[in-house]
Amino acid sequence: MSRRAEVRPQRVAVLGAGSWGTTFGKILADGGADVVMWARRPELAREIHTAKRNSTYLPGINLPRSMSATSELAEAIDGAEQVYLSIPSQSLRQNLVGLRPLLAESDVPIVSLMKGVEKSTGLRMSQLIEQELACDPDRIAVASGPNLALEIAKEQPTAAVISSTNLETAEVVARRARNHYFRSFVNTDVIGTEFGGVLKNLIAVAIGIVDGVGYGENTKASIITRGLVEMTDFAVAQGAQPGTLQGLAGLGDLIATCQSPLSRNNTAGRLLGQGYSFQDVVTQMQQTAEGLASVAPILQLARASNVEMPIVEQVKRVLDGTMNPREIAPHLTTDDDTPQGERTQNEQSGRGGAVRRALQRAFDQLRDGGRSDGRPRP
């Protein structure tokens, strides 16, 4: 084997050239990969390929020379050793139908960058990928965390978690998805990692609503804190590990999404709080706010699991037009006037709290180099 062949950059494909897909392509390219983007619109593919820009979704950002782009799906997939998906959740299934024959003979890792559930089925994105591509779930990984696209595209330091039922798959992807400004941790709790990314969007819509109304930091802090409990209760009922919701995919993503004007879900909520109707918000938003589509299926799953989600319930009422945004106060919702203990996690009361456990988990991750099992990091 020649020396040139030994140092050949790994070829990866990123399907979907919106803000997050393009940013993740930049992360991979800055980490040494040869990245091929797939864009549905030929004109966008041409701009990325020739000008190394995506002026629609990442204005002012120069893309690496090792990023190319095409509007031909087969061309993007050809020779790829990893495939990343960044497609709106509600159109993922139909896109996977076209992808299936191109990956029929492949065993490469498939990585979901998406944070949503399918509205008609309530399926998580990894479940859709497994179903439509008929592939081994051990090949599938998901990426999540406090990852606002424009900040990362500007190379501001952050981290994410890569999750797969197969730890080796998670590690392979994590080694690829890291560079001087982006670090990837790993876990095997796919359910918790995915639902963390979904549920924080719903809480961010609520935060946007109260911000749009004009309420202050006390109201927002109350909803964020109770929102973490709500997220944990729901995710654990679906089979997640509670600790995952206190890590990057839960608490970390919740903080970033709720506090930043760059968050699409926060922006959508703020417009609702200012009095715009649901349809007006959808019209004004140039990009998909996944939280809006996820409210109904999440509530359906919650009711089936007997999990109470007062924050999400009130968000749905605002979306439906049956609640005045100024009346939203899910943190005040109780069954009666009897004082209640502050339950901080998964039916537990008075034994620590989500914040303490979150800080301990963060400390443990840093001490162990990004692994929950104490082994050397990838």
CB atoms within 10 A of CB 157: 10
Give the residue from 290, 90, 248, 252 showing the smallest Cα distance to 163: 248
Q: Which two tokens stand for residue 183?
A: 């670090």
User: Residue ranges of the alpha helices (H) in the chain?
Assistant: 3-6, 19-30, 42-46, 73-77, 92-99, 125-133, 149-153, 167-176, 190-213, 217-237, 253-259, 264-273, 278-284, 290-304, 310-320, 354-367
Task: Name residue 375's amino acid.
Answer: R
Angle 310-320/264-273 helices, nearest 10 degrees? 60
Check if 200 is active-site: yes
The dihedral of CA 102, 104, 108, 110: what is its sign?
A: positive
Residue of 26, 115, 200, 316 marked active site: 200
- CB neighbour burial string for 19-43, b if at least 16 within 10 angstroms, e if fewer: bbbbbbbbbbbbbebbbbbbbeeee
Q: How far apart are CA 314 and CA 301, in angstroms?
A: 16
C-beta separation of 311 from 81 below 8 A: no
- CA angle 97/98/103 to nearest 5° reads 95
Q: Where in the sequence numbering do the catalytic residues fall?
A: 200
